Structure 1
Amino acid sequence: MKAFSATWACISRGDLEGIVPPELGEAFNFFPPKLSLPQNHVSLAESLWFREGANYNMITRRFVFDAKSIASLQAKSANGKPEAKTSRIVTLSCLIWKCCMSATKAVSSGSLKPSVLAEAMNLRPRTKPPMSDGSIGNNFGHAIAVVHPTD
């Protein structure tokens, strides 16, 4: 999707030099296809997203953070230790997760509930050697973190 969107954006801007040609066979060398998904992944997805008769009342919001605000959050999270500086995405993910946990606590009579954060990671730059940005396929994994109220 990233390669498709980037190519579309370049064409829309008239920037034909910036187009990255798709690399159709590269991902296969790193991630050969599996015949099927593990059953626990399928059942979890079904229970979370495809519940029959579920009443979904969802609200979406867009939050925009400027560079100065992110740098300030990073400095707070480092707590005076420059070697502990987190990435921009980790810093914002933690802030949003913390706010979600606070909101859950507020609507559940002040009790903190267990919480799970799952984020998709682009595996292209993490392979040895790194894959090109034009590599096409499901080149992502999940980073999962869990917080339990008693920990």
Structure 2
Amino acid sequence: MTQPNPTRRGAPVDPTGRYVIQPNGHVTPMSPFMEVWRWHVTMAASILFRATIIAASVGAVIMVGWLGALAFGPEHYACFLSLAGSPLGLLVGFGLTVVVLSFVLNGGRHLINDTGHGLTLKSATLMANIAVWAPVPLAVLFWVVLFASGRVAL
């Protein structure tokens, strides 16, 4: 059976064969893409989850640097601590805190979904909103506690 070459909103015949004519006469693409799908928060959560994996790799490199400074002796470790305590180091630390919290919340969302729960539109939207928006306020709260307890100072 051959696919018809449909036209789309008066456009010429589609030579790629990416569009099909449905039985009701509606022209649709053979596979979904941005023209078909409406943006949804679950898409943002999915993209952010992948971004946190990349950012966690940067955090792993920093952790290896910390271990290397520890292994090379007290003067290298003091240098690393001075860099980590600088405003730029604290900003990187805050960013990595956001990454870890986002990774944990998105991972929890995936874990719940893997059990077959939370797959309705309402619950998936709620969990995605939590995974997208909660890491920043939680990180701010974490760092406020660090500064208030005197563990971190400028």
TM-score range, shorter chain: under 0.3
Instruction: Provide the TM-score with structure 2 as the length reference.
Output: 0.22
**Which structure has the larger Rg over C-alpha atoms?**
2
- The structure where helix makes up a greater share of residues is 2
Between 1 and 2, higher relative CO (CA 8 Å, sep ≥ 6) is seen in 1
- The structure where strand makes up a greater share of residues is 1
Instruction: Provide the TM-score with structure 1 as the length reference.
Output: 0.22
